[in-house]
Amino acid sequence: MISYLDFEKPVAALQAKIDELRETADDGAIDIDAEIERLQQRSTALLTDIYAKLTPWQKTQVARHAERPHFRDFVAGMCSEFMPLAGDRAYADDKAIQGGFATIAGRKVMLIGHEKGHDTASRVKHNFGMGMPEGYRKAARLMELAGRFGLPVVTLVDTSGAFPGVQAEERGQAEAIARATEACLALGSPMVAAIVGEGGSGGAVALASANRVLMFEHAIYSVISPEGCASILWRTADKAADAAQAMQVTAQQLAALDVIDRIIPEPIGGAHRAPDMAIASLQAAIIEELRTLDGLGPDQLRHQRAEKFLAIGG
């Protein structure tokens, strides 16, 4: 069962009608296949039209959809092998940021990403994808390990931001984020980052300072959440939709600003409606981008990254 968002209510009503007709057809009394097909085509057309006109705030809701594929789904769908690596060798292992050696389409890589969880228990376990300092130190450790072995690094970003609690600040959250960002920029092997859901604040940038930054069609990427921005500017989170519009958080807006390099199309109605198709599209894009970086030496890769990020806003 798909969970429908508020702006998808017309599609939900049509789908309920289709389900009702299917139950009637199962009785075998009448043949209503033609009517079901007509309604299904109408539903698909309506969904296509709605998703072609999404506002930045509506895209934010899609990017946060609970049924969107998460890190564990990408590992299962893209990796023929995955060996998780844990711990920052200083304090603990952060469950919000996962990583390890992986094989994607025959290529050995270091895969790192945020895991939000898929139900209440796992979301609590993974802290809703909000990394602690030990998570960003782990990410930096894995990037340095990848550089030592000449392995490409692939990161999957999906976080509302790094954890802002007192305990994270006590353990050096800002320094850990800065250290992870530095590890990205200093990496001597190719790096491809993909914003697969939310890309929020420094918690996202710390894993996304890559040679190539990809972004799903309905993902978002911003310096702060729309609610956080609205709370600062208007003293109320009720203005989140206005904040999302002003901040230019969508893939299309960010591509026009050269903040990201490539938009990955999603299935009609978002990645949560056809996760396997979305995962396959991401895998193909990652492999293609890694091929464009083949043959570049460590200094060239570092220079390319530096030039890319220094040019933003120029």
Q: 170-173, long-range: CB within 8 Å, 24+ apart, which pairs?
A: 171/91, 171/132, 171/133, 171/134, 172/133, 173/132, 173/133, 173/136
Q: How confident is the model at residue 19 (pLDDT cuts 50, 70, 90)?
A: confident
Specify whether 10 is located in the same domain as 113: no
CA 229 to chain centre: 20
- Tokens for 273, please give them: 């409606």
Specify whether 304 is located in the same domain as 171: yes
Spatial distance between the Cα atoms of 100 and 294, rounded to a whole number of angstroms? 21
- Tallying the residues shown for the chain, one arrives at 314
Q: What average pLDDT does the segment 20-29 reach?
A: 69
Specify whether 152 is located in the same domain as 70: yes
> How does the average pLDDT of the chain come out, rounded?
93
pTM: 0.92
Q: What average pLDDT does the segment 170-198 reach?
A: 96
**Kindly report the CA angle at 112 between 192 and 137, in degrees rounded to 5?**
115
* Per-residue pLDDT, 28: 57
Number of domains in the chain: 2
CATH number, residue 100: 3.90.226.10
Specify whether 41 is located in the same domain as 132: no
Specify whether 44 is located in the same domain as 124: no
Q: How confident is the model at residue 29 (pLDDT cuts 50, 70, 90)?
A: low
Q: What average pLDDT does the segment 27-54 reach?
A: 83
Lowest model confidence (mean pLDDT) among 8-22, 193-207, 233-247, 263-277: 8-22
Spatial distance between the Cα atoms of 240 and 224, rounded to a whole number of angstroms? 11
